[in-house]
Structures are given as C-alpha cells and as structure tokens.
Structure 1
Amino acid sequence: MQSQLTFDPYSEEFFAQPHEIYRRMRAEAPVYYHEDLDFYALTRYEDVAAAARDFQTYSSAGGLDLAMMRSGEEPPKAILYMDPPEHGRMRGLVNKAFTPRAVEAQRATVIEVVRRCLESADPRRFDVVQEFSAIFPGEVITCMVGVPPADRQQFREWVQVALSYQPGQTAPDETTLTMLLNAAAYCYNLVLERRTQPQDDMISTLIAAEIQNEHGETTSLADDEITVFAMLVGGAGTETVTKLVANAVAAFARHPDQWQKLLDDRTKIPAAVEEVLRYDSPVLYTLRKTTRVVTVQGVTIPAGKPVFLCEVAANRDPDVFPDPDVFDIDRDHRRAQQLALGYGVHSCLGAALGRMETAIALDHLLDFMPRYEVIWDECRRVNASTVAGWGQLPVRVG
C-alpha cells in the first residue's frame, strides 16, 4: 500500500529525494494543495510552462518564498519581485550586462579561474564543490558586479551562508539575517564608491542608467535598488552554477558511459549542459501568487494563494520528455525546452553566462579527471530556500 503523498518543500526528505516526490505528485496530484501551509503546487510541464507565461495571473510581486509572502510586507524593489511593465523596464537596463558580447567577454576570466582552481587540486582527493564549483562562479559574477578581487571570496561566503537553510526552516534565522546585512552593507558602500569613482562594472552601469517610470518620467535607480540588485545577481550567479556543476559531476559518475561520450567528442558538451539542467537542476521550484481565481486540471485555486511552479518536476514529465529518468546527453532538446532556467518574462538573466561557465568547467574537468569515482560516503547535501545540491562532493581521480 502506497504511503500518503506529502509535499513539504522544507523537509529533509524533499531536499534529499525531490524527483521521487515530484513523480508521485505528477501522477497523483498534479495540482497539489497543502492544507497546513496553505499553498498549491504545479508539477506537469504544460501547467508549469503556462503559469510561468501568465504573469497576469501568477504574480512575482509577492516575494520569493512563503515567509516573504506571508509577512504582508512589500518585497524589496528588485527585478525578481516585479511584474510587467515595471519588470520589462528594469530588465531592459540589466540586460546590458548580459548581452552576448558581455558574456563572451567573460570567457577568458572563467577559463583563467577554472584553470587556477584545478592546478592547485590534489587528484588523490579532490572536493568538486569546496575546491572548484563553489569558487569560480563567485569569482566571475562578483567581478562583473564590481567587487574588488580581495573581497570576492568573503562576499561569496556571506551569500552562501545567507542562502543556506536547514531542513524544516521556513524563514531566515539570525545567522541568515546577519549575513544578509553584511552583504547589503558591503554592496551599499560599493554603490556609494562607484558614484564618485565609476568603473567598468555592473554597479557603475546601473548608476549611470536612466529609466522611464509608469508616468513616462525619466528617473535613475536609487542606491538601495542597485544594492538589492547587486546582492541578487551575486547570489544567483554563484549558487546556481556551483550546484549545477556538482550535479553534473554526480550524474556522470553514475553514468560513466555518458562521460565517455564527452571524452570521445567534446562537441557534445553544450548538449550535455542542457541535459544536466533537465535531469538534475539545482533550482527546485519558483514561487508565484495568484491574482485571481484560476482553474488548473479541474482544481480551483483561489486568488491570493502561493503557487509553487515545480520546474524540476516539469523537466521529468514523461508526456514531454521520453524516458525522463534516463540521463542521456544525446537527447534531442529541440523537442521541448527544459525549464530549469525559468520560462517567460522571468527567464534567467544570466542563463547564457551559466551555460558558458558550466561548459568550460566540464571541458577542463575532462582533462583533469578523465576517470574518477565519487567518494559517496563522504558526500554532503545542502539546501537553500529554493535551491538544493551538493555541499561536499569528494572524488578520487583514476
């Protein structure tokens, strides 16, 4: 007899085994309702994709997590918490930092940092996270933001601790708040410095930018708006790639035949990145709030309710992806777009950068460890409010 289906997005069971829980939700309760926490969750591809496109019904303005939505307080004025048209105006400014040319300009930096990490690594026991994937993405994104070299790893540590949640934790604790305040104070002071001494970085670009408000008036971004954006970009640009690269190493360890395909033909690396995103994305869900009553799969969701859009579940929907639990880097990704990096107006700003970083990391790892084994009994998983993955992933190079 099958146990009762329970989806607790803050439980240790979910962080450890999200795919099994999501499989049951797709089959048994594609529109899931949690009575105690009073939220809904969508897990089938067609429903998640439709909700991500429908910003008029599923609003981002309520916040990033349940605690934020329930506080009744207005979230910080940042692009993550905006709906069109305000979102479009802000995204237009920020896109300048992530144009194809701007991303490509970071390639040499990514390669240099990746090489530096691997040159100092001991192949007898190499922690893919602590010695590699937790270091180079933070170095790259904080460089783009404008953080000086001497402060980049400190900023990364603040963000990493601030985003870490323990199982059962539904809101920031004292440690989280302290780290957030440290990062906020640092970014605010950096904004003040750049107002008097602009440089070629994202903060300086945002200071100089002008934006039209809803009344057609031209305004500039306030110091606190730029501060929040710098923190969001620094956090998202670090944590997502950190966990994506580690997820890739874990997936290839369990499927060595797929690693061999990359050793034989490195032109398959971009497709491999897409398959890792589909197969084991670190972003477990995004959260929206309904602005009106909506019916999905015959279930009526009232207005004002939190709705989890479970992209990880959608990416293994068998109605869209044949043999969805099979890790296959030769999968034809033209048939359907994986949703790991968002969909619709809130698709990830740094998607191209994240793909490039992960591809470069895999290319260099193929040289560093053409044969390797994960020391599974020494691995440790960690989780944030919406992200989960490996905190320690030691390997032994063959």
Structure 2
Amino acid sequence: MLRSKSWVALDGEWRARQGEGNRWAAPASRELGRALQGLNPPHHTRFRRSVGNIFDRRTLGRLRDPVTRSVDEILDGLAQRLRGGEADFAALVAEELPVSAMGLWLGLPRADYPLLRRLTHHQAYAQELLPSASQLALANTATEGLRDYFGALVRDRRENPGDDVVSGWLRTWDELEHGDQEAANEAVYLLTMFLVIAALETTSTLLSGMVWTLDQHPDQLNWLRANPQEIPAAVEEVMRYDAPVHITTRAAAEDTVLAGVPIAKDQLVHTVIASANHDPARTPDAETFDIRRPAGHLSHLAFGGGIHYCIGAGLARLQAHVLLEALVRRFPTLRVSSPPLWEPRVAFRRLTALHVMDH
C-alpha cells in the first residue's frame, strides 16, 4: 500500500471532498494536506525534487560533529541531574536533541526551541487516528503559531539571504515559480514547517524508546557495550521492534479490492506499521528483540515506504547513533528507574516521561 499508486496520501483535494464540520475541515488538518506528507504526484514530486536528498552522506558528515557536541552538552546536563538521584531522560535528553539538531541545520535561535517543541506537540494531534475536539483546538492554535513562526523565518531569510538551507530553498523556488516571490515563500514555509514538526515528535520518541527497550533487555545492552560497532544494527532493531509511529493512513485512488475486501474510492485504510514490523513471514521470531539479527532481517517500515519514505531518516539515524554511542561510553550503569509514561495516542506516539538513575 505504501508503494502502490493505487493508494494516495490525504491531500487537500481529498480533505475538501469530506465536507465541513468534521476533523478533515479543521485548519490544522487542511494545512497538513498542503505539506509534503499530504501531497500526491505531481505536486509531491515537485516539492521533493526541490530539496533533493537533503540528508545525503555529505550533509550528514558535516552535521556529525555539531550533533556530537550537542549530545555531549545535553548529557553533561543529564549527569548533573543524576547526581541528585533520578532524572527524566525524556525531558532532559530525548526532547532536547531533535530540536537542537534541527536548529543547528536550519540556523534557528536556541531561545526558540521550547516554543517549537510545544507547537509541535500540539500540532501532532491533527495527525492522530481519532482526535478529540479539544485536541483539534490545540492543533489549530499550534498551526497558527507555526505559520507565524516559519512565515517570519522565511521573510527574514528573504531579506537577509545567506548560504543557509532556507535561503537556498528560496533561490530554488524563485526559479520554479518564475520569480513569484509570494508563491516561493509559501512553498518554503510549507517545507520548513513540515520538516520540523515531522522530525521533533518522531525522533524524541525514538530516542526515549531506544533507552527503554534496551533497558528491558540488559543482556543485549551489556553485549552492545562490549561491541559498540554494532550500534547501527541496534538502532534498526529498536525501530523494528517498537516504531515511533504505529499507524499511517492512505485513501483508495479508485474503487479497488484489498485482500479480498472491496474498498471504494476515497475510503481510508489504516496501515499498522507496528504490526507489519512484527510480521513473522518477514522477520523470523519477530516478537523477540534481538540486536544481533542478520542484516537481512533488520528491515522495517518505521520510516514508511514509497514516495513518502521519511525525508529525515538519515538525520534521525545520526542522532540515535551518536546518542547511543555516548550513552554506552559515559553511562555504563544507567538504568530506567520506573516504567515510562505515554501520552494516550495511537499513531504519533509520545513518551512523556522516562525516569532513570545511574548506579
């Protein structure tokens, strides 16, 4: 479904066809239908090509040192808090690193990080399976805040262009829009806004979930400490075993049949990524967490598939690799001291607290 042209993302036209007075008519939902995740070809193709492979090997190579410095600084703060006993890994580390990485890449002021985290958390409700009215209200307000913030960012880079990422996108879109700066500004706003909200929530959950999952398998964590070269494989198994996003949704592009079930055009089907990653036909002994699996059995759908494969997968992996390398080196006795707390979500999961001790 994720790769087939018979199934499409919920774009603006699809959302408009659902009428008024429902979740799809909410401003936050309509805005998602205009961003990269909600686009279908040819619009999706145009947007994706405009940024290219943004986290290619060269870019990730340039980002490794700044991300490593950020990890060291964040873990210094964790170490200081641990001297007093417990510390909340989710708040002190997992929430801080993704916004720091995106801030470094886009050149965002550190003082803005708390605002961006809050707006992202609230906007994520619009992507939930069954958001409540109060959650949609929070998402709508957050969408306004995100437009204000990233709209101002784009205008600033327009007035003060440089060699940064956003200025480069503006130059690209000025050409694509044949000099129509208003249209170019809107396209770059949508790109920047989407990349930030997509990165913060999912990567935070990945980082906390990684620590929680490894803590529940101490024999494998101890093996990893003795074999740190296997950290990339461990991160892949964490994503397979407990993906940050459990559900994604597609609509039928036309009347079709799926696994013997008739599906009408525009009808939704929710794909359960978490279940697919535990498919025993795909992964032997799929219910077992095993970081020593053969490389061919580490495949997963945590980053989706097809044209909507996560555009920020490389940066998410980089953060997980660097953080885990530092944790196994600096905190050999770190342990989770109480079960994690989760926000009651289904699709875009959020781990709100993960208390740890170092003993």
TM over 0.5: yes
Cα deviation for residue 210 of structure 1 reads 3.8
Alignment of structure 1 residues 135-214 onto 2, 5 Å: 135-164=96-125, 169-170=131-132, 172-210=135-173
Question: How far has the Cα of 1:306 moved from its partner?
Answer: 1.1
The answer to whether the aligner puts 1:356 opposite 2:318 as a matched pair is yes
**What is the match of residue 6 of structure 2?**
57
Stretches of structure 1 lacking an aligned partner (at least 5 in a row) = 1-50
Task: Tell me the residue number matched to 1:278.
Answer: 240
Q: Deviations over 1:45-77 (max 9, x none)?
A: xxxxxx1111x2111143699965466968543
Which residue among 86, 104, 113 is the counterpart of 1:125? 86
RMSD: 2.7
Q: Structure 1 residue 149: deviation in Å?
A: 2.7
The partner residue of 2:49 within 70, 92, 95 is 92
Indicate how the Cα distance of structure 1 residues 380 and 235 shifts in structure 2: closer, same or farther if over 3 A, else same: same
Kindly indicate which of the two structures has a greater share of residues assigned to helix: 2
Given that 2:173 and 2:188 are in contact with CA atoms closer than 8 Å, whether structure 1 keeps it comes out as no
**Deviation readout 1:171-202 (Å, 9 max, x if unpaired):** 64333322221121011011111111013333
User: Once the two structures are superposed, what CA deviation does each residue of 1:135-175 show, in whole Å capped at 9, x if it has no partner?
Assistant: 01111113323322332332222222332589963464333
CA separation of 1:75 and 1:248: change in aligned 2, threshold 3 A: closer
SS in 2 for 1:287: strand
Match of 1:83 among 34, 40, 47: 40
> Displacement, 1:385?
6.9
- Per-residue CA deviation, residues 306-364 of structure 1 (Å, 9 max, x unaligned), is 11121111000111111111000011232463111011111111111111110111111
Query: In structure 2, what residue type is equivalent to 1:381?
Result: W
Show CA shifts across 1:199-230 (max 9, x none): 333321211104887xx979775322222221
Q: Give the secondary structure class of the aligned counterpart of 1:106.
A: helix
Identity of aligned residues (%): 26
Note if 1:297 corresponds to 2:272: no
Distance 1:333 1:389 in 2: 28
Q: What residue number does 2:69 align with? A: 112
Is contact 1:159–1:235 with CA below 8 Å preserved after alignment?
A: yes
Alignment of 1:238-387 (within 5 A): 238-335=200-297, 337-376=299-338, 379-382=340-343, 386-387=347-348
Equivalent position amino acid for 2:88 in 1 = D
Name the residue aligned to 1:396: 357
Please state whether the residue corresponding to 1:330 is helix, strand or coil: coil
The 1:258/1:235 distance shift into structure 2, 3 A limit, reads same
The answer (yes or no) to whether the contact 1:291–1:304 under 8 Å persists in 2 is yes
How far 1:255 sits from its partner (Å)?
0.4
Query: Which sits farther off after the overlay, 59-68 or 354-363?
Result: 59-68
In structure 2, do the counterparts of structure 1 residues 119 and 288 end up closer, same or farther at CA, with 3 Å as the change threshold? same
Counterpart position of 1:101? 58
> Which region of structure 1 is more displaced relative to structure 2, 348-357 or 224-233?
224-233
Give the conservation status (yes or no) of the 8 Å contact 2:33–2:39: no
Which SS does the other structure have where 2:269 is aligned? strand
Q: How far is the alpha carbon of 1:395 from its aligned partner?
A: 0.8
- Any conservation in 2 of the 1:192–1:223 contact (CA below 8 Å)? yes
Letter in 1 for 2:327: L
Deviation at 1:236, TM superposition (A): 1.2
| Alpha carbons 1:89, 1:212 under 8 Å: kept | no
| Counterpart among 127, 134, 137 of residue 95 in structure 2 | 134
Letter aligned with residue 190 of structure 1? L
Farther off after superposition, 273-282 or 383-392: 383-392
Q: 1:198 to 1:385 in 2, by over 3 A?
A: farther
Are 1:76 and 1:228, in contact at CA under 8 Å, matched by a contact in 2? no
**TM-superposition CA deviations, 1:106-152 (whole Å, max 9, x none):** 11111111111111222231211100010011111133233223323
Structure 2-normalised TM-score? 0.87
Matched-pair contact (CA < 8 Å) for 2:150–2:192: yes
Question: Which sits farther off after the overlay, 289-298 or 271-280?
Answer: 289-298
Could you say if the C-alpha distance between residues 185 and 211 of structure 1 is closer, same or farther in structure 2, counting changes exceeding 3 Å? closer
